[in-house]
């Protein structure tokens, strides 16, 4: 029971948006799809939901080829970056029509959440501000109840309070293991604690696909006098180094040594730091 | 089955439009006929004002404005493009049926009051095959109006989808190309011996019986429905860009 | 609510938070503790992480699960924790402090005086 992508490629006018991407999302986990802007995150999600067709490769949902199939596509609800409601539709109408389409949609919950966020029910969807447009779409996705829920840049235009509310609600309503969640974002710091499994994408290629723990546990930073640090990192896979005066910091792949030489400080790496190091390493290539 | 939600939404929306259309039609009829009565009370003859054409334009526009919207709404809610397109078309055809029924009634009303108003509307059917006030005649008139407007739905959607899929350059090429092709074809018909006769023979065949015209229109609808599907099959469905 | 420290695994920090709660009496013995979902939502952390943190306490016998009801603090959990924390206090704080004092050339008496001062300052803090 999973969304599977097999060797999916897509290009737009000769530019490779996705190159030979193979991934699997399932098991009621919360996935983070992380990458800088323009990495191909939205293209990937649009292909899963059949808004776009891949140039080559397969998309399977619970083992069934998804493109063009109602049953497979109906299992996925995506909070897209864009609004696909008719121009004349009002917020209330958008909630109601979603209930028409999706049997598992919890209209009562959606109404309650809309009220919590202060969504103006009588306003036209098209006339909503960026923030409220995001809120409407995330209220719909939080209430969808489908086996797979995708959030594409969910907190775009949201203020701090509403972002906080969203993360809580996400854990409360989609974190129970009954739904597989894909959270696509470039705001890694905020999303990191929520994510169980991270997929890191850049330039249309998957750089890492592993549990968040594995990724952050797979690297550490050492700080200390340059000479000591150089000695420590010799023969290790180094992601990047920075130096200020005689003080040097290195991000190193793998577990730290059981015995760290005195004078060196070792700390675990957050997902965001890992991500930044990885991006720097890629840019340097 | 994910057919129903879009069908229901579309039909509801369409029927509102049909309502407005029929009210306008009725008002037009009253204005045209009574306007003439007041201004030229001596007039002896019939006003040839054809609401069947308005009906066809109405369905054509329905076809244009609804198809992208429904594909978007469908994909947003996990409905495949094939199902969305089918639901949109079905709803539009049903709406055309309702509109055709309304127009036929208006036309019948004008014919029924012909003696007092001394003016009447002429339907497609009457224009081509002659007036037939009998119930059977009215039914045939209704059927023809329906087939005519119903097929316009698919042509309208074709235009919308074509402009959606094509780049700016290709839009120009197709638009100019269609005009050019029409002119060339006409000229070819004039020049090439026998071709003109065949074209005329075809039109005569259409005029012989309503059923011939109906078959031709259903053929047009089927051909354009296929084109519509081909344009939709791999279309990227994204938001309308301002 | 609580901000997590990036340099240490979140599940460890959550386990410490829970332990602190038991020691302070916020979670009395035989009282129920919040569910995984509640923790996950309140702290905005992945449920798997929350589970892992709580499981640390379950393994230590500080918390036990009642099927279909929830999780409860074991009897004697507070005593156990205090014992463990005191052990840790010696290893992590007292011994290094003494070693640092020796390195700085402080005598045992001087160290004791400093500790007394610090202990009393605690009243005013």
**Which residue among A52, A68, A76 sits closest to B236, beta carbon to beta carbon?**
A52
User: Cβ contact (<8 Å) for C37 and A171?
Assistant: yes
> What pLDDT digit, counting tens, does each position of B13-51 carry?
999 999 999 898 888 877 776 766 555 544 455 555 567
Q: Is residue B210 part of a domain?
A: yes
Mean pLDDT of B115-119: 65
CATH number of the domain enclosing A243 = 3.30.70
How many domains would you assign to chain C?
2
**Which residue among B5, B80, B239 sits closest to A68, beta carbon to beta carbon?**
B80
Comparing alpha-carbon positions, the chain C residue that sits nearest to A213 is C9
Does C3 contact A at CB distance below 8 Å?
no
Q: Is residue C70 part of a domain?
A: yes
Restricting to C residues 44-73, those with a Cβ less than 8 Å away from any Cβ of A are 44-49
Q: Is residue B239 part of a domain?
A: no
User: Cβ contact (<8 Å) for A46 and B83?
Assistant: no
Q: Is residue C51 part of a domain?
A: yes
Q: Is residue B242 part of a domain?
A: no
Last residue of some domain: A191, A211, A231? A211
* Full strand arrangement of the beta sheet holding C70-73: C32-33, C70-73, C63-66
CA–CA separation, B232 and C6 (whole Å): 49
**Which residue among C8, C37, C44 sits closest to A193, beta carbon to beta carbon?**
C44
Residues C85 and C60 in one domain: no
Write out the residue range of the structural domain in which residue B137 sits. Answer: 3-233
User: Each residue's pLDDT tens digit in chain A (285 positions)?
Assistant: 899 999 999 999 888 999 999 999 999 999 999 998 889 999 999 999 999 999 999 999 999 999 989 999 999 999 988 878 888 899 999 999 999 999 999 999 999 999 999 999 999 998 999 899 999 999 999 999 999 999 999 998 899 999 999 999 999 998 888 899 999 998 888 888 899 999 999 999 999 999 888 887 778 888 888 888 888 888 888 888 888 878 888 888 877 776 777 778 888 778 888 888 888 888 887
Residues C69 and C20 in one domain: yes
Identify the chains in contact with B, defined as 3+ C-beta pairs within 8 A. A
**Which residue among C37, C41, C46 sits closest to A30, beta carbon to beta carbon?**
C46
CA–CA separation, A54 and A46 (whole Å): 9
Q: Is residue C41 part of a domain?
A: yes
Comparing alpha-carbon positions, the chain C residue that sits nearest to A271 is C6
Residues C96 and C68 in one domain: no
Does C37 contact A at CB distance below 8 Å?
yes
User: Cβ contact (<8 Å) for B78 and A101?
Assistant: yes
Find how far residue A242's CA is from the centre of its chain. Answer: 28
Q: Which is more confidently placed, B240 or B163?
A: B163
User: Mean pLDDT, chain B, as a whole number?
Assistant: 84
> What pLDDT digit, counting tens, does each position of A198-256 carry?
999 999 999 999 988 888 777 888 888 888 888 888 888 888 888 887 888 888 887 77
How many domains would you assign to chain A?
2
Last residue of some domain: A211, A236, A268? A211
> What pLDDT digit, counting tens, does each position of C99-114 carry?
889 889 999 999 999 8
- Residue C117 Cα, gap to closest chain A Cα (Å): 31
C108-119 b/e with 16+ CB inside 10 Å = b? Answer: eeebeeeeeeee
Write out the residue range of the structural domain in which residue C112 sits. Answer: 78-124
User: Cβ contact (<8 Å) for A267 and C7?
Assistant: yes
Cα radius of gyration rounded to whole Å, chain A: 21
Taking one residue from A and the other from B, the number of pairs with CB-CB distance under 8 angstroms is: 73
User: Cβ contact (<8 Å) for A70 and B83?
Assistant: yes
Query: Helix A107-117 to helix A130-144 angle, to the nearest 10 degrees?
Result: 150
Residues A238 and A151 in one domain: no
Write out the residue range of the structural domain in which residue A142 sits. Answer: 2-211
Pairing of strands A265-268, A219-225: antiparallel
Long-range pairs for B25-34: beta carbons < 8 A, 24 or more residues apart = B25/B51, B25/B54, B25/B102, B25/B103, B25/B106, B26/B106, B29/B106, B29/B109, B29/B110, B29/B121, B32/B119, B32/B121, B33/B110, B33/B113, B33/B117, B33/B119, B33/B120, B33/B121, B34/B117
- Residue B79 Cα, gap to closest chain A Cα (Å): 5
Identify the chains in contact with A, defined as 3+ C-beta pairs within 8 A. B, C
Last residue of some domain: A211, A239, A263? A211
Q: Is residue B241 part of a domain?
A: no
Residue among B147, B148, B154 nearest B63 (CA):
B154
Residues C71 and C89 in one domain: no
Residues A129 and A11 in one domain: yes
């Amino acid at each position: 029971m999973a969304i599977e992508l097999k060797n999916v490629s897509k290009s737009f006018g000769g530019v490779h948006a996705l190159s030979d991407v193979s991934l699997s999302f399932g098991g009621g986990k919360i996935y983070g799809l992380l990458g800088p802007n323009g990495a191909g995150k939205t293209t990937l999600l649009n292909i899963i939901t059949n808004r776009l067709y891949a140039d080559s490769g397969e998309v399977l949902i619970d083992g069934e080829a998804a493109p063009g199939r109602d049953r497979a596509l109906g299992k996925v609800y995506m909070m897209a970056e864009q609004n696909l409601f008719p121009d004349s539709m009002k917020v209330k109408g958008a909630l109601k029509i979603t209930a028409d389409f999706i049997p598992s949609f919890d209209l009562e919950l959606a109404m309650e959440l809309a009220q919590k966020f202060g969504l103006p029910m009588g306003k036209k969807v098209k006339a909503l501000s960026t923030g409220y447009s995001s809120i409407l779409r995330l209220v719909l996705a939080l209430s969808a109840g489908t086996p797979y829920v995708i959030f594409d840049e969910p907190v775009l235009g949201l203020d701090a309070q509403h972002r906080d509310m969203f993360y809580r609600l996400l854990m409360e309503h989609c974190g129970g293991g009954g739904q597989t969640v894909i959270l696509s974002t470039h705001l890694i710091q905020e999303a990191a604690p929520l994510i169980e499994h991270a997929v890191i994408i850049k330039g249309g290629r998957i750089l890492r696909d592993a549990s968040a723990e594995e990724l952050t546990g797979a690297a550490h930073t050492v700080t200390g006098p340059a000479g000591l640090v150089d000695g420590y990192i010799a023969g290790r896979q180094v992601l990047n180094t920075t130096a200020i005066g005689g003080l040097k910091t290195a991000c190193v792949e793998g577990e730290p040594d059981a015995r760290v030489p005195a004078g060196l400080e070792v700390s675990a790496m957050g997902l965001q730091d890992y991500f930044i190091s990885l991006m720097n390493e890629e840019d340097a290539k | 089955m994910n057919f129903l939600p879009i069908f229901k939404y579309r039909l509801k929306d369409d029927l509102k439009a049909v309502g407005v259309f029929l009210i306008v039609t009725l008002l037009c009829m009253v204005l045209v006929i009574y306007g003439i009565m007041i201004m030229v009370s001596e007039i002896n003859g019939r006003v040839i004002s054809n609401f069947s054409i308005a009906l066809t334009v109405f369905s054509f526009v329905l076809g244009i404005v609804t198809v992208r919207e429904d594909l978007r709404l469908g994909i947003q809610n996990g409905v495949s493009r094939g199902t969305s397109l089918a639901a949109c078309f079905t709803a539009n055809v049903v709406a055309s049926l309702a509109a055709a029924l309304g127009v036929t009634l208006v036309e019948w009303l004008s014919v029924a009051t012909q003696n007092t108003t001394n003016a009447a509307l002429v339907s497609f059917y009457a224009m081509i095959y002659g007036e037939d006030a009998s119930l059977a005649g009215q039914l045939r008139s209704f059927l023809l109006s329906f087939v005519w407007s119903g097929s316009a739905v698919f042509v309208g959607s074709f235009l919308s989808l074509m402009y959606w899929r094509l780049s700016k350059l290709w839009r120009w090429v197709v638009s100019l190309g269609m005009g050019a092709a029409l002119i060339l074809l006409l000229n070819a018909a004039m020049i090439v011996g026998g071709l003109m006769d065949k074209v005329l023979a075809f039109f005569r065949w259409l005029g012989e019986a309503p059923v011939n015209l109906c078959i031709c229109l259903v053929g047009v609808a089927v051909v354009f429905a296929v084109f519509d599907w081909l344009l939709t099959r791999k279309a990227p469905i994204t938001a309308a860009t301002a | 609510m609580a901000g997590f420290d990036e340099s240490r695994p979140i599940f460890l920090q959550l386990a410490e938070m829970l332990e602190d709660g038991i020691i302070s009496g916020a979670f009395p013995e035989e009282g129920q503790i919040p569910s995984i979902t509640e923790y996950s939502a309140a702290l905005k952390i992945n449920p798997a992480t929350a589970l892992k943190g709580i499981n640390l306490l379950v393994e230590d016998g500080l918390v036990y699960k009642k099927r279909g009801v929830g999780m409860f603090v074991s009897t004697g959990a507070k005593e156990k924790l205090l014992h463990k924390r005191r052990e840790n206090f010696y290893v992590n704080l007292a011994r290094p402090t003494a070693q640092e004092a020796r390195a700085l050339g402080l005598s045992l008496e001087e160290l004791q005086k400093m500790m007394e001062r610090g202990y009393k300052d605690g009243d005013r803090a």
